């Protein structure tokens, strides 16, 4: 049994438990993981982050809804995400996702 996470406090890493949210579009449950190196929760599915609107900070979209919006509802995507850096980052996420699903794309 290895349970060194609690004891190992020499690194100033904090580990917070993942939490569950519901996708704002399809209402599916999705898990938001804590990212220790960044010391914050993953923003990949956080709609407030992508859209840059604080009132959406507790709204989440699951991976498949993000992909769906990006591929089938481009207008909505362009309308919602105005920051070009974030557009690039989201494209990057979605592209990685596709690589995982379909390695022949490499
Ligand atoms: Zn969804």
DSSP bridge pairs for 43: none
Say whether pLDDT at 105 is over 90. no
Say whether pLDDT at 12 is over 90. no
Q: What is the whole-number distance in angstroms between the Cα of residue 82 and the centre of ligand 1?
A: 21
Helix (H) or strand (E) run with residue 90 in it: helix 84-101
Q: What is the whole-number distance in angstroms between the Cα of residue 9 and the centre of ligand 1?
A: 37
Query: Given this model, what pLDDT does residue 18 score?
Result: 95
In this predicted structure, which of 6-10, 53-57, 91-95 has the lowest mean pLDDT?
6-10
Rounded Cα gap, residues 58 and 54, in angstroms: 9
Q: Where are the domains of the chain?
A: 19-105
Task: Tell me the average pLDDT of the chain.
Answer: 83
Rounded Cα gap, residues 100 and 13, in angstroms: 28
Query: Given this model, what pLDDT does residue 78 score?
Result: 94
Is-contact 22 60, C-beta < 8 A?
A: yes
Nearby residues for ligand 1 (ion, Cβ within 5 Å):
23, 25-26, 62, 65
**Which residues contact residue 28 at a Cβ distance below 8 angstroms, ignoring those fewer than 6 apart?**
22, 62, 64
pLDDT tens digit sequence for 68-82: 999 899 999 999 999
pTM of the prediction? Answer: 0.75
């Amino acid at each position: 049994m290895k349970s060194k996470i609690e004891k190992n406090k020499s690194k100033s890493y904090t580990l917070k438990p993942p939490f569950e949210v519901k996708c704002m579009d399809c209402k599916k449950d999705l898990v938001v993981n804590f990212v220790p190196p960044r010391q914050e929760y993953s923003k990949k599915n956080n709609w407030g982050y992508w859209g840059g609107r604080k009132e959406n900070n507790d709204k989440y979209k699951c991976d498949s809804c993000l992909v769906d919006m990006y591929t089938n509802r481009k207008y909505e995507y362009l309308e919602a995400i105005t920051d070009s850096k974030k557009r690039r980052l989201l494209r990057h996420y979605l592209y990685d996702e596709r690589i995982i699903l379909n390695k022949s794309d490499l």
